[in-house]
Structure 1
Amino acid sequence: MSVCRPARCLFSKATATSLPRPPPQRSFHASASRPARKRRPHYPSIKAEDLKLLNQASEAEYPKFDTSETTLLEKKYTRAQIAAIKAAESTIDARDVLTQGQRRTDPWRLNYEDDLAEVDPVTDRPEKLTGDDIKGSKNFRLANDVQRDENIARITSENLAKMYPEGVPEGALDNQEAGRLKSSTEAAFSQAVLDPRVSYTSNNPAALESLGDERHSIVAPDLPRVENRMARQTRRLSTEEEEDPRQKRLLQYLGWEKQKLRSIRVKTLVVHGVTNQTRMGKIRSLYYLTIAGNQDGLLGVGEGKSVEPEEGRKQSVMSAIRNMRPVPRYENRTTFGDLEQKVGATKVQLFSRPPGFGLRVQHLIFELARAAGLQDLSAKTPRSRNKMNVIKATWEALTSQKLPDEIARARGKKLVDVRKVYYGGAIH
């Protein structure tokens, strides 16, 4: 092995060497060498015209306070707060806020429209007071039953006045307003019972009010009132619930309301893992088969498959509700005669039964019959009992029944002739 190359590498690293410099190597790249390249700026250069437009936009979006606005601020904020506002405005460039800033959309974003004049129980630390701030006597004693009832009534009225600033509604109320008034009264009463001003009394009104002031209480602060912002943010009405986009499209497709959709009986009967062989390897996912019915003549079967378990189940549920079809029922309890359906190697035989017979079928057909609203039925599966095929065959048999009036119309006869039962009760 030649030692010329290691020796040349070793001597080239020496600080002082008498070896001649090697000739410059030929570059095989089309681009210029690194030393020959110009240094690129970290930030794009802005032209004078664009800078003028940016200054105009920043001044229009974030204007500076004039003298009249500063006078109004002095009435609401202290001198230290005004000094902090001015320091922040002088430090933050409005152009940077316009080009780099953006409003947050997450649920924990701050309320940008807040003037920060009130103490927020979520983000601010409330001011604490000591006993020296209470003027007069600081003695308390337990209230008797009469005083306790009076305090509960007084504090409940105060809480209701906060909930209804314009007055408690009177007269004839609809069901929604009556329910809202009832829940508000219960909430006001519960807060009044837990208020410490109910259990104690004092000759000094200031000392008594300090029991309900959260600035004086460190151990048990005042409960959040219904009207404050923290309660409004944490309380979510049923009309403001986040909707699944699939559910929203389904409601638009069916023309239903949420209440009607909640009344649908849904049950997942088959769950197993499946594997899809691709060029990237084996991709495992879960398969779901779900049934849906309103227990009054509607029945549907849906399938779903996804890598995520919850996603696949949602797909099957939405598909089952969307595929619901009417199930004809004789006397709203059983089928119109005996039925037979074959899917694959599975054969399902359904037999109508007299009143009080019940559902004497296997568990899969039992769930389908209960979801459809059938009460008297028996069944046989003489061949293969594959779960998926049993469910599909039962669903097709129930939804594709031949009604007696259809048979009579096809034969050109009357319905009583097809059923072989006449008005006199004699059987032909």
Structure 2
Amino acid sequence: MSVCRPARCLFSRAAPTTLPKPSPSPLPFSSSAARHHHNRPRSFHTSTPRPARHRRPHYPSIKADDLKLLNQAAQATAPVYKKSELSLLQQQYTPDQLAAIEAAEAVIDRKDLYIQGSLRTDPWRLPYEDDLAEVDPVTDIPDKLSPESIKGKKTFREANALERDEAIARIANENMAKLYPDGVPEGQLSEKDQQRLEEHMEAALMQASMDPRAVYTGPNQKALDTLADPRHSRIYADLPRIENRMMRQTRRLASDEEEDPRQKRLLKYLDWDKDKLKQIRTKTLVVHGVTNQTRMGKIQSMYFLTIAGNGNGLLGVGEGKSVEPEEGKKQSVMAAIRNLRPVPRYENRTIFGDLEKKVGATKVQLFSRPPGFGLRVQHLIFEMARAAGLHDLAARTPRSRNKMNVIKATWEALCNQKLPDEIARARGKKLVDVRKVYYGGSVH
């Protein structure tokens, strides 16, 4: 063992120890105290000061070795095309497409693909892996072909009955071959499989009978096949629907709409269909809140008053009340349609004479008017007259104008009119001239 080793280690490993820094000395009380303090510096701290702690960075720094690992992983994930692979690509793509591929490969960094790239997991991703190099008949539009692509004669003639039957049989077999690539199942089938087979056969025959190749024939088979080729059509065929779980959940057909049980009972009560119900116009005229005092406290709810009419002699009024506003409105609409009553109309435009009806403290007076007079009434009576199909009318409300009472009084007055033939029958007379006898001879 060499003697120099400990010395070399001692000199090389020697490090200056951290000593306390001398603090500024206070003012000396005496010369001897000053000399003593100068000879022996003293600190007021009992422990040595610790160096300042470095703040940790928010993001760890990436070392050069890690970068090399990332580059290697990126090269393995997206390697550079080899010569053999480029030769294969030249067989599938044109030179312009290859140039575009190489430009894209040069622009996109492989390391970014490895770090940021990930497979799509959203519902709108493709249900299969595709490099989009070939045309998909479901999602891609077929290329438009011109008549120059058809070789030979392009003449057609209408097929006779025998040729039509042969063409239908041939096209139906082609359609069945598409549905059953492995052949039509034979032998004893289950009831479900037999029903599916019959449905497929019926669909194949129906499609074959509608195919233009079964209607026309010609000497050139290639030209005949273009009749059913969408690439030779001016209008592309409709793209088929892609059936998946997301499409079934988002698509909602008119036949799949939820039917309101209240509406179903109303249609059964009126013996109507939905088309006739759609002709009824409804409008909510009165909406306000009501409060019911119970032992449980005050129960607040909404009140609705709605009118309904077809604009051709039918008018109804309905009320509804519920804690939920939508429920109360539906109740009033259904009640108004259920309470539709006929409104007699003179010449399908006005009422028979003057009417007066009193409900509570509200009195409503209605007056017939000549053609072209219009509806000169307040807004509530205007809506009711328009729903009933009245075009010439005047009205007054000399007393209380409570909205609910005005609507009810107008409805009762319009539906309970005294007709001239009823008055004549009650008097035992014949109805001769309505205008001259019952309207004072005024002929409009």
**TM-score, L = length of structure 1:** 0.50
Q: Which has the larger radius of gyration?
A: 2
**TM-score, L = length of structure 2:** 0.48
